[in-house]
């Protein structure tokens, strides 16, 4: 790898796996230190097998939470690795494979999470999909639209609706948005529009659920080194990934997870609802 390259050239097929990534992302395995900010809480992290979801699962577990992970069946290997870290922190981990584009599966994941953990206090809507190997709006197929909108929006509605049947006062929902909601890339036209919708929904849901004592927020990451990137971006985007940020580099999943801990914990965010927290390496989120 030459010095001006952010990452070595590499490509994967969706959904992408951690093992194939060079270098291996940092999910906080050796660095995250918890302080009981989520003691006794029960959390569902969709897409919790890899990337930002794995870092969130590790951080939540070290803060004292039991964690359920949802993921695609072909991601079993990644999910088991994440579960080992959660259990290694002394917490319970429920593994819930299934394709969230299917309504019954999506609702079932939330119900099973609550069943297996004995309740549900925190929902992290983190599963997401993009495809950036296209040049123009003319290349966006109905198949593309179905995959992006079902994964990023329909599933988020279904999982949230089902999760709310189990959540009481003190419940927390955190959606994974993106810098793409604010500075959309032309190659991510459809994906970026789902992230703008997620921001809108976050604010609106916070208004509806406030009176029930349930807080709703979003995190908007900038470029983060996860399997999603080599699986959906062309090679030339990977080699320069993140270099266009003010900090001049991509972020690691471990650098995003603390924002989720902050928003999830009543110790730090009891009066924070209806907001989107940017973790972007310096790109503006307004
Ligand atoms: P990732 O590939 O590690 O995680 C995405 C996960 O989504 C996958 O592991 C998979 O389990 C899940 N998923 C996708 N389609 C699914 C489906 N049909 N059914 C069930 N699960 C499905 O990548 P990541 O970057 O950690 O992505 C997590 C979230 O972060 C996504 O919502 C993504 O849009 C968002 N995000 C990522 C970046 C980035 O640069 N990596 C930037 C902004 C936002
Ligand atoms: Mg994955």
Q: Has 71 been annotated as catalytic?
A: no
In Å, what is the CA distance from 134 to each residue of 143, 223, 228, 239, 248?
Answer: 13, 19, 16, 18, 25
Bridge-partner residues for 219, per DSSP? 176, 277
The residue annotated as part of the active site, out of 32, 71, 129, 191, is 191
C-alpha 50 to ligand 2 mean position (Å): 4
C-alpha 53 to ligand 2 mean position (Å): 8
Dihedral pair phi/psi, residue 41, rounded to 5°: -80, 155
Tens digit of each residue's pLDDT, the chain (286 residues): 555 789 999 999 999 999 999 999 999 999 999 999 999 999 999 999 999 999 999 999 999 999 999 999 999 999 999 999 999 999 999 999 999 999 999 999 999 999 999 999 999 999 999 999 888 999 999 999 999 999 999 999 999 999 999 999 999 999 999 999 999 999 999 999 999 999 999 999 999 999 999 999 999 999 999 999 999 999 999 999 999 999 999 999 999 999 999 999 999 999 999 999 999 999 999 9
Give the integer Cα–Cα distance in Å for 22 and 125. Answer: 27
Closest CA to 57 of 30, 37, 27, 77: 27
Q: Best mutation site among 227, 228, 280 for ligand 1, i.e. most ligand atoms within 8 A of its Cβ?
A: 228
Give the integer Cα–Cα distance in Å for 16 and 19. Answer: 9
**Do 232 and 130 contact (CB within 8 A), yes or no?**
yes
Closest CA to 281 of 237, 233, 249: 249
C-alpha 87 to ligand 1 mean position (Å): 22
Q: How many CB atoms lie within 10 A of CB 201?
A: 20
Three-class DSSP labels, the chain: CCCCCCCCCCCCCCCCCCCCCCCCCCCCCCCCCCCCCCCCCEEEEECCCCHHHHHHHHHHHHCCCEEEEEECHHHHHHHHHHHHHHHHCCCCEEEEECCCCCHHHHHHHHHHHHHHHCCCCEEEECCCCCCCCCCCHHHCCHHHHHHHHHHHHHHHHHHHHHHHCCCCCCCEEEEECCHHHCCCCHHHHHHHHHHHHHHHHHHHHHHHHHHHCCEEEEEEECCECCCHHHHHCCHHHHHCCCCCCCCCCCECHHHCHHHHHHHHCHHHHCCCCCCEEEECCCCCCC
Report all structural domains of the chain as residue ranges with CATH numbers, in order of start.
38-279 (3.40.50.720)
The pTM score is 0.99
pLDDT tens string 52-76: 999 999 999 999 999 999 999 999 9
pLDDT tens string 232-274: 999 999 999 999 999 999 999 999 999 999 999 999 999 999 9
Give the integer Cα–Cα distance in Å for 170 and 277. Answer: 20
> Which residues are within 8 A (CB) of 9 and not within 5 positions of it... i.e. 6 or more apart?
235, 238, 239
What is the residue whose two structure tokens read 């690691």? Answer: 252
**Do 225 and 183 contact (CB within 8 A), yes or no?**
no
Residues with CB under 6 A from ligand 1: 15-16, 47, 49-53, 71-72, 75, 99-101, 126-129, 151, 176, 178, 221, 223-224, 226-229
């Amino acid at each position: 790898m030459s010095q001006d390259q952010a990452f070595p050239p590499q490509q994967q097929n969706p959904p992408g796996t951690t093992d194939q990534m060079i270098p291996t992302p940092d999910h906080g395995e050796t660095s995250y230190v918890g302080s009981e900010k989520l003691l006794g809480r029960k959390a569902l992290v969709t897409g919790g097998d890899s990337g930002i979801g794995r870092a969130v699962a590790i951080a939540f577990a070290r803060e004292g939470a039991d964690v359920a992970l949802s993921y695609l069946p072909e991601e079993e290997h990644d999910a088991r690795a994440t579960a080992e870290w959660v259990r290694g922190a002394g917490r319970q981990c429920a593994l819930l494979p299934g394709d969230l584009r299917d309504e019954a599966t999506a609702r079932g994941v939330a119900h099973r999470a609550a069943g297996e953990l004995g309740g549900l206090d925190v929902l992290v809507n983190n599963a997401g999909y993009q495809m950036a190997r296209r040049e123009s709006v003319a290349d966006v197929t109905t198949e593309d639209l179905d995959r992006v909108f079902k994964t990023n929006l329909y599933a988020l509605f279904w999982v949230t609706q089902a999760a709310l049947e189990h959540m009481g006062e003190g419940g927390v929902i955190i959606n994974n948005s993106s810098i793409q909601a604010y500075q959309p890339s032309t190659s991510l036209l459809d994906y970026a529009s789902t992230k703008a919708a997620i921001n809108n929904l976050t604010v609106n849901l916070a208004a509806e659920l406030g009176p029930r004592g349930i807080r709703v927020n979003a995190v908007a990451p900038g470029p983060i080194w996860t399997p999603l990137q080599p699986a959906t971006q062309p090679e030339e985007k990977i080699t320069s990934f993140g270099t266009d940020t003010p900090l001049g580099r991509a972020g690691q999943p471990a650098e995003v997870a603390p924002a989720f801990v902050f928003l999830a914990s009543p110790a730090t965010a009891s009066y924070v609802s209806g907001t989107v927290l940017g973790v972007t390496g310096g790109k503006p989120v307004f």
